[in-house]
Chain A
Amino acid sequence: MERKLAVKDEILLSVQQPARYIGGEVHAVMKDKEKVNVRFAMCFPDVYEIGMSHLGIQILYDMFNRREDIWCERVYSPWTDMDRVMRAHQIPLFALESQDPIKEFDFLGITIQYEMCYTNILQVLDLAQIPLLATERTLEHPFVIGGGPCAYNPEPLADYFDLFYIGEGETQYFALMDLYIKWKQKKESRETFLKQAAQIPGIYVPSLYDVTYQEDGTIASMRPNCQEAPERVTKQVVMDVTDTFYPKKPVVPFLKATQDRVVLEIQRGCIRGCRFCQAGMLYRPTRERDLSMLKEYALAMLANTGYEEISLSSLSSSDYSKLGELVTFLIEECGKKGINISLPSLRIDAFSLDVMGKVQDIKKSSLTFAPEAGSQRLRDVINKGLTEEVILDGARQAFVGGWNRVKLYFMLGLPTETEEDMRQIAWLAEKIAERYYDVPKEQRHGKCQIVVSTSFFVPKPFTPFQWARMCTKEEFLHRAYVVNHEIKEQKNKKSIKYNWHEADVTVLEGILARGDRRVGKAILKAYEKGCLFDSWSECFQHQLWLEAFEECGLDLAFYTTRERKEDEIFPWDFIEIGVSKKFLLREWKRAQKGEVTPNCKSACAGCGAAVFKGGVCIEHQN
């Protein structure tokens, strides 16, 4: 029987990219809804092409669907055109596979990857006709559970979620599902389920905690309001990343997704410890997948999907211990089948240049460096172990090898930054250009092209900079102006192009990133005013956000430009990520003194993640 669609043909033909809403892709999983105990809708609250590119959902989708009694389906944010039609015709948001309304499901799981999707979360709930406030949901409604990196500070979203899953989904979801199945048979209250769920490691039920505030607005205490809820919630990690869930048959979209390729995650975690980097702290300890597993999965995934490209994914691929072997294997296997290999996040050195020369067209590709700060002083502050010498030498080797395009990424607004540091961004770009013109003319390929991009720094929870003050919009723009001006002064200015990020949206990201429960009201207000798809510059409505904060009586400076005291209780302090607050504070102090901390492979800094009994430091001891 042909699958029915939730939306009529005329409507689908009147919106952009109707393929976003029809499901039915290769490897999408169909089951009989009568034969499963749990229906789980997995949501990425952004447009289909972005959501379909996310590896985490593919892993969990595969994991859930391996169980016969669970049917996991997908749902994404309807784009603004579809959003309008669905509201006008009262079409409830539906899952792609069955095309059934989400409100009939047992769970709605939402992965929260960036702050700027918060209004989309409310859109998804709203279109699904699920009450936005968790307190207003009844036995008729699904449980709404959040996960992903932003769940590490879930507080701004506390009112809208029944539960949060803190950590990697592969570990506790089945326990949660089993608990749910038992609870459903007994027909008990929602509260009973939530209290039981709170006892599963990694599960945070916001309604079971009360927060009190001091006069100055900071948190006085955050405590469980019942005995079932634990004082602290511990992040969940998969310690064996080889013998675990990974999809051999990921869903292959019809539309060209942002990630239009096989994604092979080679490791989790990062040894570098850059002080601004949240991922680097959250995903400790580092864990490598076995080479043989990666080889097997690479071949199986390519065969099952038919993709013409494979990409290795990790925070810092150069640190994978068997990278050489893996890449040699892939070059051999893929070469004969016309499959491309893409290797993001590689350090530029002789090895990577050699590999890149083999897998891509040098004339079309560019080199990427992320020094993040212009001066060595500031790079020491942020603990980015990349020196000017290494960058210039890498660039020189690449230029000799035939490259002529370089991309440089920096952050503006880092703690302790001076105008000198900003200007050094321009100087570094200039030095790279000079290296290019040092290469004998016969060996060069025309002009060189250096693209400098700066983003504005946002202090994130669980980083040494969580105490730091964030710049105002004006301070950010002034910094971009200084860099822009200095680039114009350089001899090779014609070879250097400069892009900078928008400042309004960065300030908002900063508020949400370190926000507390009180910020949640403003998110709802902004949504009600029409904010949606805030990460899309064509949709972002800064003015409405400002009004929302104003009407909720929130002081933006409290969340952004205020430097936090050492002993301040943060909204996210109740989460145990392994890396201790003591370590983070030590790093914050070292940063201010410009002292670097060696990476985890060279020396253990005692960050605390060893409680998970793994990572390079523990491997070294054994």
Chain B
Amino acid sequence: MNIRIKFRKYGAMKFISHLDVMRYFQKAIRRAKIDICFSEGFSPHMIMSFASPLSLGVTSEAEYMDIRVKNASSSGEMRERLNQTMAEGIDVISVRLLPENSKNAMSLVAAADYQLCFRKDAKLADGWEAKFLEFLKSPEIRLIKKTKKGEQEVDIRPWIYQCVVADGIIMLQAAAGSVHNLKPELLIQAFADWAGITLEPFSLLVHRKELYAEIGDGEKKVLIPLEELGEDFGE
């Protein structure tokens, strides 16, 4: 059985790195006595993969992890067992059964929703929202992106799918995953450079709200949340 688990990461847990969250779940799965499958070989490891790593300091209400299990009675029961052994700052929201042969979450991620705001003491000049909207109207947003192959100039404008600002909060939907990935921090830095604003380090608060897969036919983009590719089971 392939299972997709959706969880929230908040509070002090935002200081736990992606690598440590993976290690955390390996232990949590043992504590919850989930009947997980292991790889073959002398030192077998759990069959488990994460959709998209979250940077340190970022909170989220839509983290995804796929696991393969030998047995599980129901979504509700598995969620309950996991939640009983969670540390404060991680809650399991849903447990869904995936269809046979479905692709793993990591390869599916195409877009993400973010909620962005500035720390109270970041002291941005009034009217930054209007400036930000103006910035978004640019036909191109070119910047230097560091990649594995070195530095590269890219236009990130096409990666912004939706973006609105209200009450000091930016809601952003942007490309995510292995093809194109727009980190919100990068966009805000580009804005700050454009507007001549100096941002204190770590003044942006990022909260991830959803991760999507693309299920369109190539002409029109159709995004659905990763959890909707699976179904509750056994209830």
Contacts and interface: CB of A to CB of B under 8 A. Distances in A.
Contact of B119 (A10, A23, A252, A303): A10
A24 B28 CA distance: 15
A26 interface: yes
Contacts of B15: 12-13, 18-19, 22
A305 B33 CA distance: 11
Q: Which of B13, B23, B28, B29 has the most CB of A within 10 A?
A: B23
Contacts of B150: none
Interface string A245-269: 0000000101110000000000000
A340 B44 CA distance: 10
A255 to B, nearest CB: 6
Contacts of B43: 340, 361
B38 interface: yes
A19 B17 contact: yes
Given A2-B11, A305-B31, A306-B26, A256 B88 contact: no
A10 B56 contact: no
A5 B23 contact: no
B172 to A, nearest CB: 20
Given A13-B57, A256-B23, A340-B43, A3 B31 contact: no
Nearest to B28: A306
A252 B23 CA distance: 11
Given A12-B15, A361-B43, A306 B88 contact: no
Interface string B53-93: 00011000000000000000000000000000101110000
Interface size class of A (residues with CB under 8 A): 20 to 34
Query: By DSSP majority rule, is chain B's interface helix, strand, loop, or mixed?
Result: loop
B87 A25 contact: yes
B16 A26 contact: no
Nearest to B15: A18
A10 B202 contact: yes
B38 A254 contact: no
A19 B89 CA distance: 13
A3 B57 contact: no
A387 interface: no
Contacts of B218: none
B126 interface: no
A10 B87 contact: no
Contacts of A9: 57, 119, 202
Contacts of A303: 30-31, 33
Interface of B: 10-13, 15-17, 20, 23-24, 26-31, 33, 38, 42-44, 56-57, 85, 87-89, 119, 200-203
Interface of A: 2-3, 5, 9-10, 12-14, 18-19, 22-26, 252, 254-256, 302-308, 337-338, 340, 361
Given A254-B24, A304-B31, A306-B27, 20 more contacts: A3-B88, A9-B57, A10-B200, A10-B202, A12-B15, A13-B201, A13-B202, A18-B15, A22-B12, A24-B11, A256-B20, A256-B23, A302-B30, A306-B31, A306-B85, A307-B27, A308-B26, A308-B30, A338-B38, A361-B42
